[in-house]
Amino acid sequence: MSMLVRPSPPRPPRCKPPRSGFVQRQVLVILGSLAVLGLLIASMFNLGPSVGQSSPADGGNSAGPQPLVVYCAASNKSVMEAVRADYEQQFGRPLQIQYGPSQALLASAQVTGSGDLFLPADDSYLELAREKDLLADEFPLAKMQAVVAVPKGNPQKIERLADLLRDDVRVAQASFEGAAIGKMTREVLTKIGQWDALHDHTHVFTTTVNEVANNVKIGAVDAGIVFDAVLHDYDSLEAITIPELAPATAHISAATLAGSRQPQQAAHFARYLSARDTGLKRYAEFGFQPVEGDVWSERPEITLYAGSMLRPAIEATITAFEEREGVRVSRVYNGCGILVAQMKAGQTPDAYFACDSEFMTQVKSIFPAPTSLSQNELVILVQKGNPHNVKTLADLRKEGLRVGIGHEKQCAMGWLTQRTFDESGLKAELMKNVVVQTPTGDMLVNQMRSGSLDAAVAYLSNAAGSAEFLDAIRIQGIPCSVATQPFAIAKDSEHKQLAQRLLAAIRAQESQARFSSEGFRWIEGEQPAHE
What is the spatial distance between Cα 91 and Cα 278, in angstroms, rounded to a whole number?
13
Quickly count: other Cβ atoms within 10 Å of residue 477's Cβ. Answer: 10
Angstrom distance (rounded) from CA 163 to CA 197: 12
The confidence score (pLDDT) of residue 212 equals 96
The pLDDT tens digits of the residues spanning 99-127 come to 999 999 999 999 998 899 999 999 999 99
The pLDDT tens digits for 39-95 are 444 444 343 333 334 433 333 444 567 899 999 999 999 999 999 999 999 999 999
Give the side-chain half-sphere CA count within 13 A for 483. 34
Question: How many residues comprise the chain?
Answer: 531
Q: Tens digits of per-residue pLDDT, 361-374?
A: 999 999 999 999 99
pLDDT score of 525 more than 50: yes
Quote the CA–CA distance of 271 and 296 in Å, as a whole number.
Answer: 7
Give 402's DSSP letter.
Answer: -
Separation of alpha carbons 216 and 25, rounded Å: 20
Say what percent of the chain tops pLDDT 90: 77
Is the fold of 144-248 the same as that of 375-482? yes
Measured in degrees and rounded to the nearest 5, phi and psi for residue 464 equal -60, -35
Predicted model pTM: 0.79
Question: To the nearest whole number, what is the mean pLDDT of the chain?
Answer: 87
- R_g (Cα) of the chain, nearest Å: 30
Q: Which tens digit of pLDDT belongs to each residue from 122-171?
A: 999 999 999 999 999 999 999 999 999 999 999 999 999 999 999 999 99
User: What is the secondary structure of 285-309 as a DSSP string?
Assistant: HTT-EE--PBPP-SS-EEEEEEEGG
Q: Is the pLDDT of residue 4 over 50?
A: no
Per-residue pLDDT at 408: 87
CATH topology of domain 144-248: D-Maltodextrin-Binding Protein; domain 2 (3.40.190)
pLDDT at 360: 96
What is the arithmetic mean of pLDDT over 397-413?
91
pLDDT of residue 311: 94
Mean pLDDT of 321-344: 95
Give the start-to-end residue ranges of the domains of the chain: 23-140+250-290, 144-248, 301-371+488-522, 375-482
Distance CA 313, CA 322 (A): 16
How does DSSP assign 170-230, residue by residue?
Answer: -EEEE-TTT-HHHHHHHHHHHHTT-HHHHHHHEEEEESSHHHHHHHHHTTSSSEEEEEGGG
Confidence at residue 46, expressed as pLDDT on a 0 to 100 scale: 41
Q: 23-140+250-290 architecture in CATH?
A: 3-Layer(aba) Sandwich (3.40)
Sequence-distant (6+) residues with CB within 8 A of 380 are 390, 393, 396, 455, 456, 457, 472, 473, 475
Poorest-pLDDT segment among 52-66, 193-207, 363-377, 464-478: 52-66
Mean pLDDT of all residues in 235-244: 96
The pLDDT of residue 14: 38
Q: Give the pLDDT band (50/70/90) at residue 379.
A: very high
Averaged pLDDT for residues 466-476 = 89
pLDDT at 480: 78
pLDDT of residue 294: 97
Per CATH, the homologous superfamily of domain 375-482 is: Periplasmic binding protein-like II (3.40.190.10)
Task: Give me the CATH topology for the region 301-371+488-522.
Answer: D-Maltodextrin-Binding Protein; domain 2 (3.40.190)
Q: Map 17-77 to HEC letters.
A: CCCCCHHHHHHHHHHHHHHHHHHHHHHHHCCCCCCCEECCCCCCCCCCCCCEEEEEEHHHH
Alpha carbon of 372 to those of 309, 314, 338, 459: distances in Å? 16, 15, 21, 17
Query: Which is it for strands 403-406 and 434-438: parallel, antiparallel or unpaired?
Result: parallel
* pLDDT at residue 303 greater than cutoff 90: yes
The rounded distance, in Å, linking the Cα atoms of 254 and 269 is 10
